[in-house]
Amino acid sequence: MKLFFRFKLQRSSFVIGLLMLLAFLAAIPGYSQTKQSLISISLKNAKLTQALKEINAKTGNMILYKVEEVSKEPKLITVNLKEVSAVQALESSLAGTGFTFTLRGDQIVVHSKSKAQQPPQQETQLLRGVVTDISGRPLEGIAIMIKGTTTGVATDERGYYELKVPRSAVVLYSCLGMKSREVTYRGQEEQNIIMEDEAAEVGEVIVTGVFNKSRESYTGAVTTITSKDIQAFRGQNLLQTLKNIDPAINITVDNNLGSNPNVIPQLTIRGNSSLPMSVEEYNTGLKTNVNTPLIIMDGFEISLTKLMDYNDEDIESINILKDASATAIYGSRGANGVIVVITKAPKGGKIMINAQAGLSLEFPKLSSYGLLNASEILELQRHVGLYTEKNPAVMGDLIDYYNEGERAYEMRLKDILEGVNTDWLHYPVRTGASRRYNVRVEGGSREFRWGTNISVNSNAGAMKGSKRDNLNAGFNLSYTYGKVQFRNILRVGVSQGYESKYGSFATYAKMMPYYRPYNKEGVLIKDFMGLMEKYVRVPNPLYNATLDSRNESGYNDLSNNLSIEWDIFQDLKMRAQLGINKKINESDNFLPAEHSNFTYYSGDNFFRKGSYSYGIGNDLSYEADVVLSYSKRIKEKHQLYTGLNYSIQNTNSYLYNFIVEGFTKGTKPFLGNAMQYQQNGMPRGTESTTRRVGVTGNINYTYDNRYYGDLSIRIDGSSQFGSKSKYAPFWSFGMGWNIHREEFLKNSNVIDNLRLRASIGQTGSQQFSAYQALQMYQMYIGDRYLNYNGSYLMALGNENLKWQITDQINTGLEIGLFGGRVNGSVDYYLKRTSDLLSSRELPLSTGYTSYIENIGEVKNYGFETALNGYIVRNTEAGFIWMVGVKLAYTKNLISKLSEDIKKQTEIYREQNVDISTLFYEGYAQNSIWAVKSLGIDPSTGVELFLDREGNITTVWDPAAKIYCGVGEPTYRGNINSMLRYRNFTLNMSFGYYWGGQVYNQTLVDKVEVTIDEIGRNNVDRRVYSERWMNPGDVKFYKGFSRNATRASTRFVMNDNVFELQSASLQYRLDKGEFLRRAKLRALTFEANTSDIFYISSVKRERGINYPFAARAGFSITLTF
């Protein structure tokens, strides 16, 4: 009885679980395995119980029997059957025994022959239910049939059906374009069904943006993110959300920029495969986005900014293509990985309205700041002698005039006693309240479907006045006429970013707490007396914030994508797409006359006060492509897919910028109010046109669903490269093996999915300036010779310039265990980028210093692994807990450099620069170089260094810098947890990384500060407790001195972090009296938070120019 019970639970839980969790689990590879009906069995003199157990194991528990009864059977069974049905196997096994069997739907009941056979219960009962799609919307016109009969009904507009069903029948739910479902009727009264789209089923089909491939035979490394994932792990913006889900996506954490909503982060997939053109450029922070992946939305390229600003509610799924096999179809653009975004398509049916409103709050996180209060800083200043010593620069009679140390000290002490202790950090920050609204309406018939959505998202940052507003609207039409389907998507996006008037947060962290921002009457004080010199004034940063300044930038864009799909005949399909995108950027930066920048404008310059910098740009791009695909199954075992794609793209953009000045006091921030153009200023502009054509061919062959191979070839032509190599080929080859389909695993109860794949290929990257390769003349601007103009040769062109080539190897293993309970995957990759574009030095006698050539090589290798499983999967009780762990390891190293870069590196190394990134072969691109420190000498309190020869010295020599680590974590990962109980879902995403180093600049800026610095800026409280004071002190920080601390290994620290990236709690109500009365189909409440806690091995101030923020939000979604 025990066994019987167990298997019953399993069966039913499987069905219910499938219904309820389909949407969630669909993403997990290998879950949706269909049971093989054919089994092989070989037994010799086995007991019947053993035989039945064996058959059960291979058929997925199809057989019901009572163990006590069957175990009494004396006959030993010998069978040897190959590829037979369960029924056949059972017939052979039961032959000659006292048992027989009866079919009940898809179950087989084994019972004793002697027992009188019960006639099948033929009485009918009423079965009713609602058929919906994954998102819970009712489906109209679904055919519901009793299998093997012609009896059936169709669902009504509410998706509702009623059907008289005989006991133990199989009910078939089907509809063109959707996956059919079968359900065994067991007397239940209600049977709700969720049906999935056949083609667009997320996870089963991989949309690469060019071809749609079945996951079963896909050789590429890809991560699929569903709309549910996006909802569950939402971060500050979509890019953060992606990072929360897949650690292979790396977003560089910028400690300076914090949680500024207007900053577009640096995003990379699988490391940095390009080098910047020069060492100095890299160090001065002009890091170009040479490593940004290509982003494709519905087949068309979009920018990273656009992805960040896009309405994530409109996204159906995102595929992240990582290796050559996946990205070779993007040829010259694929080397940095590809993010393929698929937006929601209207599903047709009765008008459905989905409305969502959300509110979220951003709280500044200031706990990493440990600044001194007013009396402490005053005491420290006095302690280091700032108020007693005379300024040595001022001599003679003037000495008392300039040095008012003692008086200044007295004055401040008096203020402090009166209670002045200003907490400057709290002035520029706030709890930012962000709102988001999203409305989606869709409907139509099966042939003609439409959908429209509009979303408004106002993202307020943690600094006052800082926000980013996004408006996205889309109109989606699709029309099916016979074998042709037309689809058109029109999108409008408006984004505007506003910077805080309060300026840099760092200014506030530096302000002395003994200054009072307002006088006793509550009037703002414009500036304060410097340390002790009356004539040195410290401006009150709050003053500029009161002015009517403007610093904003934004863009409007409009795009239209039209696609036509034509099923030419059975296996041959064609799709043609045309996309046009127009974008207008604008930036405004206005400073009124009263701004402190203009305080010292006098005389002739008086009327130059106030300035307005205005920029306007325009991008126009069009892109067209045609895809022809042919797939054919030949003789059952051979599956062939071929695809051919032709694409063409043209992008044109320009940007103009100019500055005007002279806004008298009180003038409105309007360009026309300016008095003149900027003195000696002139309009500036940039322009670029890039063009690209490409042809891609793809062949995929699968043998017996077991072995498969994939070959892609792309030929790309681009205007960005030299006239001698306008075209370049890219390719990839991949192989895969579905081990779980092999004989020896076919019937395994443990492993239900095991797949091995490997790929090799070449891709390129195109993130360079448009006219890199051309030899060009530039006309002189703002200059003349007599009354002539002239032009000069800008640089030596290189007509041989080629694409950077990235070779990639990837091997991956996917495994699914215990009927989808546990899933795991591991991918190992090696990426080698050669022919890196880099400047090469020339003798000056050529007239130029360098030219651009293909030199240099960078390697990236690493692995990505994921494991997730159900800790609890009790679908009957509605209780599910799933945990997933992901880990990515990336190692980056420069394997070859041009002589020019090597020379630049040597020159840069010796420069008197504190902390620098140097490029050396064999080291990572963003390695940290600093002088080796031996700590603080306890007897003198000065730092000891190791010089180039290995001697101990007190002299900091920049040339003695050594390698001290990589400024980027080598291991990154996350832990995601999904806990569901009935209608509640709790999602949590923890992130962690380790293996990288960081140069702790805050310790230098705030703790190991010079005496003069203490006179100018507020400092960290560790200055008090942890600095060397007296001989014999063994301290980490040196004694007080006027010499600035130079970059040494002392401040290079291991950067290990564990944080809670996001947490959300969802309550979804999709049935019940309340909904019916409110005429709602579903109701979802969601609360989410992000960046709640953060533990780091590095103690430092976080968010220098803009604080980091934690988020908490709430949203409600109504579906009508």
Partner 1 sequence: MKRILLYTLIVTSVVFTSCNKWLDVKPAGQVTTPDLFSTYGGFCSALNGCYFKLKARDIYGEQLTMSYIESLAQLWRADSYGRPVDYELKQFKYDSDNTRAAFKSIYAGLYNVIAQANMIINALDTYGDVIKDPVSRAIIEGEAYAIRAFCHFDILRLFGQLPQGGTISVSLPYAENVSHESLPSYYSYEDYVAKIESDLNKAESALKDKDPIFKYTYFYLEAFEASASDDIVLDDDFHGYRQHKFNYWAIRALQARFYLYIGKKEKAYTIAREIINAKGADGNPVISLSGVADLNAGYIACPTESLMMLHVYDLVTYTPSLLASGSIQSTSSHLVITQAQLNQMFETQNIAANNRYRSVWGKTLTDPMGTIYPTLMKYYHQTGVYTTNYLDFNKKQVVPLLRLSEMYLIAIETTNDLNEANTLWNTYKLSHNLLLSGNTFNSLDGVRAEIVNEYRREFFGEGQMFYTYKRLNSPAMLWGSAPIVEENYIPALPMTEFNPNK
Contact residues toward partner 1 (CB under 8 A) are: 568, 572, 628, 630, 644, 646, 648, 654, 685-693, 695, 715, 717-719, 723, 726-727, 770-771, 774-780, 783-794, 796-798, 840-849, 851, 853
- Residue closer to partner 1 (CB basis): 441 or 842: 842
CA–CA separation, 982 and 420 (whole Å):
55
Give the DSSP per-residue string, 660-721. Answer: EE---TT--S-GGG-SEEPTT---EEEEEEEEEEEEEEEEEEEETTTEEEEEEEEEEEETTS
- Residue closer to partner 1 (CB basis): 42 or 723: 723
Taking the complex as a whole, the smallest distance from the CB of residue 652 to partner 1 amounts, in Å, to 9
Taking the complex as a whole, the smallest distance from the CB of residue 944 to partner 1 amounts, in Å, to 28
Angle, alpha carbons 542-459-463 (nearest 5°): 20
Taking the complex as a whole, the smallest distance from the CB of residue 768 to partner 1 amounts, in Å, to 13
Helix axes 48-59, 86-94, angle to 10 degrees: 180
Q: Please say whether the beta carbons of 247 and 887 come within 8 A.
A: yes
CA–CA distances in Å: residue 1034 to residues 198, 939, 1009, 1054: 71, 9, 18, 22
- Residue closer to partner 1 (CB basis): 115 or 903: 903
- Residue closer to partner 1 (CB basis): 311 or 904: 904
CA–centroid distance for 616 within its chain: 29
- Residue closer to partner 1 (CB basis): 723 or 939: 723
- Dihedral sign of CA atoms 1015, 1016, 1021, 1023 in order: negative
What's the burial of 405, exposed, middle or buried (CB within 10 Å: 0-12/13-18/19+)? buried
Q: Please say whether the beta carbons of 528 and 535 come within 8 A.
A: no
Alpha helices by DSSP H, 39-156: 48-59, 67-70, 86-94
- Residue closer to partner 1 (CB basis): 192 or 689: 689
- Residue closer to partner 1 (CB basis): 501 or 692: 692
Q: For 1103, left (φ over 0), alpha (ψ -120 to 50), or beta?
A: left
- Residue closer to partner 1 (CB basis): 647 or 808: 647
Taking the complex as a whole, the smallest distance from the CB of residue 647 to partner 1 amounts, in Å, to 11
Instruction: Give the residues across from 974 on adjacent strands.
Output: 886, 991
- Residue closer to partner 1 (CB basis): 193 or 837: 837
Taking the complex as a whole, the smallest distance from the CB of residue 771 to partner 1 amounts, in Å, to 5
Taking the complex as a whole, the smallest distance from the CB of residue 628 to partner 1 amounts, in Å, to 6
Give the DSSP per-residue string, 799-820. Answer: TT---EEEEEEEEEEEEEETTT
CA–CA separation, 517 and 428 (whole Å):
12
DSSP-based three-state secondary structure for 307: helix
Q: Please say whether the beta carbons of 245 and 866 come within 8 A.
A: no
Taking the complex as a whole, the smallest distance from the CB of residue 196 to partner 1 amounts, in Å, to 31
Taking the complex as a whole, the smallest distance from the CB of residue 436 to partner 1 amounts, in Å, to 40
> Which of 647, 540, 581 is CA-nearest to residue 210?
647
- Residue closer to partner 1 (CB basis): 356 or 647: 647
- Residue closer to partner 1 (CB basis): 427 or 851: 851
Give the DSSP per-residue string, 431-449. Answer: -EEEEEEEEEEEEE-SSEE
3-state SS string over 381-413? Answer: HHHCCCCCCCCCCCCHHHHHHHCCHHHHHHHHH
Q: Please say whether the beta carbons of 985 and 1065 come within 8 A.
A: yes
Taking the complex as a whole, the smallest distance from the CB of residue 608 to partner 1 amounts, in Å, to 18
CA–CA separation, 398 and 415 (whole Å):
27
Taking the complex as a whole, the smallest distance from the CB of residue 774 to partner 1 amounts, in Å, to 6
CA–CA separation, 1021 and 1053 (whole Å):
20
Cβ neighbours of 91 (radius 10 Å): 15
- Residue closer to partner 1 (CB basis): 313 or 853: 853
Taking the complex as a whole, the smallest distance from the CB of residue 634 to partner 1 amounts, in Å, to 13
Length of the chain: 1120
What's the burial of 603, exposed, middle or buried (CB within 10 Å: 0-12/13-18/19+)? exposed
Taking the complex as a whole, the smallest distance from the CB of residue 776 to partner 1 amounts, in Å, to 4
Backbone angles phi, psi at 785, to 5 degrees: -125, 115
- Residue closer to partner 1 (CB basis): 718 or 1066: 718
- Residue closer to partner 1 (CB basis): 688 or 926: 688
Taking the complex as a whole, the smallest distance from the CB of residue 765 to partner 1 amounts, in Å, to 18
- Residue closer to partner 1 (CB basis): 392 or 843: 843
Q: Please say whether the beta carbons of 1108 and 236 come within 8 A.
A: no
- Residue closer to partner 1 (CB basis): 427 or 848: 848
- Residue closer to partner 1 (CB basis): 726 or 1068: 726
Q: Please say whether the beta carbons of 1023 and 1053 come within 8 A.
A: no
Taking the complex as a whole, the smallest distance from the CB of residue 692 to partner 1 amounts, in Å, to 8
Largest CA distance in the chain: 127
Taking the complex as a whole, the smallest distance from the CB of residue 847 to partner 1 amounts, in Å, to 3
Taking the complex as a whole, the smallest distance from the CB of residue 310 to partner 1 amounts, in Å, to 29
Taking the complex as a whole, the smallest distance from the CB of residue 1047 to partner 1 amounts, in Å, to 22
